Structure 1
Amino acid sequence: MKKIVALLATGTMAVSFYTGAALTQPVGTSFAATLTAESFKDLQNVDPALKAKVDAMLAANIFEGVSSDTFGIDQNMTRAQFAKVAVLLYKLPLDTSVTASGFSDVRAEDPANGWAIPYVEAARKAGLIDGVTDTTFAPGEQVTAGQLDTILLRGLGKSVNTTGAVWYADAVKQAGELGFHPAGKAGDAAANRADLVTSSYTVKQLVDKPVTPPVAAPVSVVSAQPASDNLKVQVTFDAAVDTAKATLSLNKGTAAVSVETQWSADKKTATLTAGSALTAGDYTVTLGGLEASQIKKATAAFTIQPSVSFGSVTIGNLTYSIPQAYELANVVDSGVTEAATGANGLETRANAEDPTVSKLAKEIKIKLTSGGDEVATPGIIQSVVSSDASIVKTGVSADHRGYALGLKTGTATLTLTFQAANGDTKVIQTTVTVKGDRVAAATVKAEDSTYKHTLSGSTYFDAFEAMGLTVTDNYGTKYEKGEIKKYNFVLGTMFTVTAVEGGGSVTVSQDGTVTLTGTVTSFELNAILFNGERATTYVTVN
């Protein structure tokens, strides 16, 4: 018959070790006896059923942590660690005064595994675990799920067939039937401390041969549903609950919510009543107070959505309002953005179609007022969602401001989620109509009526900057200086030169670059729109 040593020698991937301090704690001391799952920071948010099993194994002095405040629940286990658990689980004869091992790689001076000498020797003498060779034990090598199953079955006196094509197949099958094979893991997968807790807990029940059955059948939380007033939450179960022991807790995120619990007569439902209406957010109901074996599924989650207002939301003396209608141009389906080539100073098409950066988009603003007076506020928008994303494309900038871009003609409703001053999440809506009228420049203005250019600096300059141009389109959007250059594919601003004085000539290129030749002393620079609107700046040259 193949020895257990061969099974535990399979798979030699390195794993993290316990610290010596964590594992040299004498079994049965008052420190070990007072440990619970709550003593370890990495067990605070684990499944309650697993936490209850950890508590049981700590109370039995079979497990300890990897440090004073860390259990190491997700760490893989080593052969040395498993040897200790096996010895304690099967209550094998143990001589804690043993300080030398027959294996050359299990040494007292080894800070990682020296603590394991008594346990390795006890397991070896009992014939439960042997070395990987006649002289070595490999205490730091990891244990697979199949190896875990095999040793635990042998400790129960079961015969395991390891001669098949997949040596661990029979072990996995038997362990599964007895309920201690690590759930969802193949036999060659690494077993971690969570697997060891679950498997050894189940085996301990078999070893201890409990006389009485569980008080109640395992129960699962099926659902948790808030009432329309958000004051009550109805929790349903798949079987009757031991209400004398069971507890129910409600959390919003990680924050506990105070509730009163009332059970139904058949003990299959419970009603949780809060002191005030639950606000928008994600909630979790957790079943506790029962033995681990009595709980199949301990939690259920639900979400309370913020109430939706159209046009405005009032909280105390603050009112958040938004225009009830917006008009946008169709800039994508109409082909407008196809001309945004990125060449000659023009905007790229990607930017022109990005609502958070495009000048063709419109900011969807929420105005805050107090007592009728407008209050300055930073960006507060968390999300903007269009009821029809094929009509309106939305986006939120890094500073929490919302934008919308018209993709094709039609109407869509925008739903904005924002954070109010009191921290509440609120929802407000508005309507957007995408029109068929193309974007076009409507007015042009030159902030600078005169401009002086020095030839010693350069023979050319930028017309947009020199004139201080501002163009407003037919949808009310203003473009200034360089923005006009980027979006001239839709604005169509042209330049002409008149009244040239002195010798030489003046030319203006498509990107607004004014080039001087000869001895020009002055001229008029004109910005002209397709509708005939124009602005003029008088340029002098020296």
Structure 2
Amino acid sequence: MKKLTMIATAAMAFSLFASATLSNPAAAAAKTSADFTDLSNTNAALKAKIDAMLAEGIFDGVSDNSFGINQNMTRAQFAKVATLIYDIKVDPTVKVSSFSDVHADDAANGWAIPYIEAAKKAGLIDGVTNTTFVPGDSVTTGQLDTLLLKGLGKKVSTTGSPWYSDAVKQASDLGIHPTGKTGEQLAIRADLVQSSYTAQQAFDKQNLVSITKAAAASDTKSVQVTLNRSVDTTKATLVLKNGTTVVPTKAVWSTDAQSVTLTADLALAAGDYTVTLGGLDASAIQTGTANFKVAAATNDSGNISIVGTYTLAAVLDSGLTDAATGSNGLADKATAEDPTLSKFAKEIEIKVKDASGDTIAVPGIIQSVHSSDPSIVKAGLNATTHRGYVLGNKVGTADVSVIVQIGNGDAKQLHVTVTVTKDSITAKEIKAGTTTIDKTLALVGSNYESTFDAYTAMDLSITDNYGITYKNSEIPKYNFALGTLFITNDVKGNAADGAVGTVTVTNGSVHVVGNVTYFELTAVTASGQKVTSYVNLKR
């Protein structure tokens, strides 16, 4: 069967369920695995899962004394399983299906209408076509994986070969994929029990509440606490302690109820702190505590200090980065707006006095960096190199706090004021490291040609009015701000070879065609600075 037939959409992944006769499960009495004769030789671990899902009404037998452990699972049966394991709201009063092939008077599948409609409304499954659901068809394990992952909020790619390879890999990593089966094999009810049970456990776990992060702000008067999911803010409480001492705070929740700012009356003293989540049912909390440290805040901590001035352009609020399209050699918007990647950002320079009293630069010792107002200054940390960066957003000033640590020594907190101005970025100075360029023409067809990159051939560097230097290949990436272009002059050829050839420059790429032995290549910035290199060509 072709992939197109099996999964034209995520929902069509259910188009291969095999038919299984089933009386209305909703009306069946609660049973255990001991009531079904075909489970007598089933291993204890699988029986325990069956019992758990029977008790929750997620599964039923195919008859009074048969569970149908080795039968294929129908689309109708799975619609019920999917809605129940993922807590999808089901309206039992729904008696009319949106699909033409599902009818309330169908003894085998009519009972499933509320589940099918609920699963469809939740965006979990759909019909094989716009009008048909085919409730009695069977499913492959690859299709089973795809829909169970979808219910867990996972993104699954179907562009690989085979189409289900990504689904099988993700499901296997989560323990959902049926053991020992390939993606094209049909799933039986035993597979569905195992997979659905594991998927439900993962779903329940990811819906538990955890504190994912707690950290003091740069003013050390407030603490930002982040949760993995939203909570009922009328019930949730957070207690801040310094050691065993409770620190009174005022809590202000975010609009999405997934983070809260705890503000104390006074700056927090240096020490070890704990935040504890309470007020909710204990069974709904997975990780209810988080620890963090507050270091003494100084602008110069002993022999360690921040040096340099930090004045930046408002590159985000000004709309400048909208021109970072990622095409024609330009940086993309995400890169231009990332403090750890953007050339518009400045690295926070840390200097330390050595034993002799000399000041030396020491990179790679920053543990964290925070901006008091990210809407003005964005701060970022490269966690691999331990270097910190700041990037201007909108006009204003912000305090940036930096935690540094050398070796196994105590962490130190430093501060620096960063100013963001409305002045646009302009080139203040342009230099060419190479003023004489020698190139060789190659015979291409009937013409001699040469192509080279002007930025690297000239070894260009541009320093802007904020003191940031862009070199060689960095210049074209940020040319939407620098506005550099190239002019050619005094193009010469060999008189004995006839008419002089042509030199064109497009996006910094120089293309020479024909009889050219020499020309002047001039780089010009938008602010008027110029630099020229002299190009010699030979065959």
| Structure whose alpha-carbon radius of gyration is higher | 1
Tell me the TM-score normalised to structure 1 length.
0.47
Tell me the TM-score normalised to structure 2 length.
0.47
